[in-house]
Amino acid sequence: MSAVAQGEPRLAHERSERWVPALAAVCGLLLLAIAVEIVIDAAAGPSPVVPKSPELVGWLSGLGERLGYRGFLIALLISCGAYGTLATLARRFGASAISTRWAIFLLAALQLIVFVGPVLLSTDVFSYVAYARMGVEHGLNPYTHGPDAIVHDPIYRYVGHDWDRVATAYGPLYTLLSYPLAPLGVVGALWAMKLEALLASAGTLALTWRCARARGFDPVAAVLVVGANPLYFLYALGGAHNDLIMMLAMMAAVSLVVVAPSAGSSTRSARREAGAAALIVAGALTKATVAVLLPFMIVSKRRLAPILGTVAALALGAIVGYVAFGIHGINIVAALNRDAAFVSTDSFANEIAHLLGKPGVFPIDHDLLKAALVLILLHLLWRTWRGYDWVAASGWALLAISVTSTWLLAWYILWPLPLAVVTRDRRLLAATLAIQALFIIHQTSPLLAPVQ
């Protein structure tokens, strides 16, 4: 075949792909425009999407109209469409679809836009501040009292009604991290929590980039799939959820193991594995769920180092937790059992109960779901023992936890996402995004039949 004949198909191929960067740019701009619109409208005041909050963004108020649930849902669906297209283009065409500089600008802008806006979609951050103020300002143990113990504190009126009698379910490390923020006052502490979430989000994305590159994936596509995900920047970052801190610890641990230099000595890699295990424990002392990574790493590595790292970090965490909060501060099992009994309308368990003609989830269903989860985890552990990638197995485990949980919130189905973009098993990413799509579809009933 002549050089001319070879060159023609390539030229035609390049021509046919000229639309790719333009479409990627349009999707990115659409995501930015929707983020701006949501933040400006949310600043107009409380609504079903924007919780009642202290004055955080007064300079933005008056620019937009109150953000209703229907308006938010339409914006969310459009941003999901833009995200889906952008993610597909980035994964399919790589650098020819979106340049590294543009991707970083887009992600930074999305995160900053949401950061400067009001608290979105959840009152959890007010609970975080309430627990911190209980400990620092009122001398109360947040593991034995709910926020209703400080009814006269200015933060109390913003705590979600469902949680005002509930002691903290978060780990002692997170509670101690939040203590220095309490003296900043309610508004100062809320901004500090938002900043903490922003930094954790940026760190998670940076580590996702690092892991993707180390494993031979396109890092731009990987961070776009995570950072431009509407559930990530609107729900997780918008609500300043501590899940982002947990995900930061998770990705730091994965990064320590997968970025280990291949020529490194055995002692060095053992140290990194011990450090990774300690980081996972630190993440679990923020939010317990991430502990599920430990057995997969230990089974995969089959060395003493991660076990020693786990034990050492657990011992240290237990001592610090006990000294700071007493036995309740380290009784994570009790907190998990309590939370496992909650049922949210968006949980798949609740939807399956309705499909089967039941009014809701019964105690026996909790047991069946736990049994199903145990079976899934055992299968994944066996597969990891027989050579399956422990990072992917951990991602499946996190996805299984969220799907079998009777208490499911939007930011829970983000947990496996950073792991899914750094594994070769493409089914994990497909399954995670499919579960997210189902979750969002379930939110849309007000669009079909609005109640006024």
Partner 1 sequence: MSGASLSSEERLPVEERRWERLPRWLRPRISEQRGSRRLWRLETTVLVVVGLFLAVAVVNDLARQTRINHRLVADLTTWRHYTDHDYKNISIDQETLGAGSNREVLCGNTSGGAPGSKTQVCLAIWGPTVNGRRTVHGGWYLPPYYEDVRSERYGCFGSVRELCPR
Report whether 392 contacts 337 (CB < 8 A). Answer: no
| Residue 94 C-beta: closest distance to partner 1, Å | 20
Distance CA 251, CA 334 (A): 27
Measure the CA dihedral 321/322/325/327, to 10°.
120
- Two structure tokens written together for 369: 């779901």
| Residue 351 C-beta: closest distance to partner 1, Å | 4
| Residue 116 C-beta: closest distance to partner 1, Å | 32
How many contiguous H segments (helices) and E segments (strands) does the chain have?
20, 0
| Residue 112 C-beta: closest distance to partner 1, Å | 33
| Residue 197 C-beta: closest distance to partner 1, Å | 29
Closer to partner 1 at the Cβ: 195 or 375? 375
Distance CA 47, CA 277 (A): 42
Closer to partner 1 at the Cβ: 161 or 302? 302
Residues at the site binding partner 1, with contacts judged by CB under 8 A: 214-216, 257-262, 266, 269, 299-300, 302-303, 348, 350-352, 354-355, 359, 383, 385-389, 392-393, 403, 423-425, 427, 431, 434-435, 438, 441-442, 444-446, 448-452
Phi-psi region of 144 (alpha: psi -120 to 50; beta: other; left: phi over 0): alpha
Closer to partner 1 at the Cβ: 17 or 425? 425
Closer to partner 1 at the Cβ: 2 or 452? 452
In this structure, the number of other CB atoms found within 10 A of the CB of residue 50 comes to 23
| Residue 394 C-beta: closest distance to partner 1, Å | 12
| Residue 108 C-beta: closest distance to partner 1, Å | 29
Of 173, 251, 265, 174, the closest CA to residue 212 belongs to 251
Report whether 94 contacts 221 (CB < 8 A). Answer: yes
The CA-based angle 27-33-38, given to 5 degrees, is 125
Closer to partner 1 at the Cβ: 100 or 444? 444
Fill in the DSSP letter of residue 56.
Answer: S
| Residue 416 C-beta: closest distance to partner 1, Å | 14
Distance CA 50, CA 37 (A): 14
User: Is 239 exposed, middle or buried (CB count within 10 Å of its CB: 0-12, 13-18, 19+)?
Assistant: buried
Closer to partner 1 at the Cβ: 325 or 388? 388
Closer to partner 1 at the Cβ: 1 or 448? 448
Distance CA 79, CA 74 (A): 9
Closer to partner 1 at the Cβ: 337 or 444? 444
Distance CA 181, CA 178 (A): 5
| Residue 12 C-beta: closest distance to partner 1, Å | 34
Closer to partner 1 at the Cβ: 138 or 442? 442
